[in-house]
A = this chain, B = another copy of it.
Amino acid sequence: MERLWHCQDMPRVSKDPTPIAAAPARQATIRESNLALLYRLIVDAPAPVSRAALAAATGMTRATASALADALLAGGLIAEVAPPPAASAGRPAAGLVPARTGPAGWGLEVNVDYLAACVVDLSGTVRATVMRHGDQRDREVGEVLDDLADLAREVAVPGLKPAGIALAVPGLVQTPTGRIQRAPNLGWEDLEVTERLRKLMPEAMLAPMVGNEADFAALAEAHAGLEDGATNADFLYVSGEIGVGAGIVLAGELFRGSRGWAGEIGHVTVEPGGAACRCGARGCLETVAGLEALQRLGPQAAATALGRAVAAAVNLFDLPAVVLGGVYARADLAAVLVPGVAGALAEHVVSAPWAPVAVRASRWGEAAAATGAATAVVRRVHAEPAAWVGAGVA
């Protein structure tokens, strides 16, 4: 019967304890998931939440909800704010909000022509960003990481400490190991950097994360700096740099593909038999719409090619919106690329006649991936708050 435990359709047995399996070993998991449930409610709420409202929303007793909230408070993950002026009789309840001091997410990015760092607090607010321009191609990895360590210190904000650190790279990253498989525009192949990231920030509770820059940038677009509780749910994010990458967001979550390598839009063929690409093939989107080609051929050529590749992605994924990021978000380029891509989508997407696809420039510009990397750390804390909370409570 061993195989029964490996069925992919039965996550409830292994991950999600039910009332039928109440062995002592399960209790910690129930408490952990209740903590996470409560924290998620506080994080997603558009306004401060009272303990009574938490109890009502979860079906927990008031005492249980209160004890869990106290644990989150003690762990520094939430804060208590003064009640609003009483609108009705009786003593108004204090409200709970995500903490704006204490643990926070540190995001780093290495791209072809710049380095960046960003700090996002547990409320999802971007607290600081630093960027350093300069060609990173064919530099020694250790030197790049030393520079990133400098930036991580520079970006620090008084009152915030790293809960974890995430690094964005323009290439393919293995999940869940974080091994960098290939970042062709940096000249990087098969690199393990998580150990060095760990040493860079030994006080962080979470293990370092490494991910694709377009994926992280998409995460920033989905979650960072929005009004409390808001999310951009479904869209294709296209990142234009020296290379071109994409992050696909579905229901607010990144779509990573079987092995974490989804979104390689830069190597969709847009000009059969066209120019040679650094990947070895010909006519890839990057050869027409990468930054260098864009400077050489002009934004109109890039818009046509980009429209073709983006239309392919929208036909395949069925997405209602497209966000152009990286250099594509620069005002002068966006003025040509946004209408160009919108026109291609209207022409090539089968469902467009009755469900037009929205196209817009990213709000984050070049700092998007570092912002998204920091956001990824914050979301990890939101999903697994138990690590910050004493084991004996509730």
Q: Are A264 and B3 closer than 8 Å at their CB atoms? A: no
Q: Which of A30-38, A143-151, A155-163 contacts B (4 or more CB under 8 A)?
A: A30-38
Residues of B within 8 A of A201 (CB): none
Cα-based distance from A369 to B349 in the complex (angstroms): 24
**Given the complex, which residues of B lie within 8 Å of A53, measured CB to CB?**
1, 4
Q: Given A267-B350, A312-B312, A257 and B318 touching (CB < 8 A)?
A: yes
Min CB distance A342 to B, Å, is: 15
Contact partner of A59 among B3, B20, B59, B182, CB < 8 A?
B20
Q: Mark A179-203, 1 if CB is under 8 A from B, else 0.
A: 0011000000000000000000000
Q: Does A275 interact with chain B (Cβ within 8 Å)?
A: no
Q: What count of chain A residues pass the 8 Å CB interface test?
A: 85
A312 vs B283: C-alpha distance when bound (angstroms)? 12
Give complex CA distance A354, B265 in Å: 19
Interfacial chain B residues near A1, Cβ < 8 Å: 45, 49, 53, 56-57
A250 at the interface (CB under 8 A from B): yes
Stretch at the interface among A11-19, A74-82, A84-92: A11-19
Give, as a whole number of angstroms, the nearest-CB distance from A341 to chain B.
13
Which residues of chain A in 353-385 are interfacial with respect to chain B, using CB atoms and an 8 Å cutoff?
Answer: 354-355
Do residues A315 and B268 form an inter-chain contact, with CB atoms below 8 A?
A: yes
B9 touches A181 (CB 8 A): no
Across the interface, A8 reaches (CB within 8 A) one of B60, B251, B262, B347, namely: B251
| 6 cross-chain pairs, A with B, having the tightest CB-CB distances, nearest first | A257-B318, A21-B59, A264-B315, A261-B318, A262-B318, A268-B312
**Taking beta carbons and an 8 Å cutoff, which residues of A are in contact with B?**
1, 3-5, 7-10, 12-13, 16-23, 30, 33-34, 37, 40-41, 44-46, 49, 53, 56-60, 64, 172, 181-182, 229, 231, 233-234, 246, 248, 250-252, 256-265, 267-272, 279-281, 284, 308-309, 311-313, 315-320, 347-351, 354-355
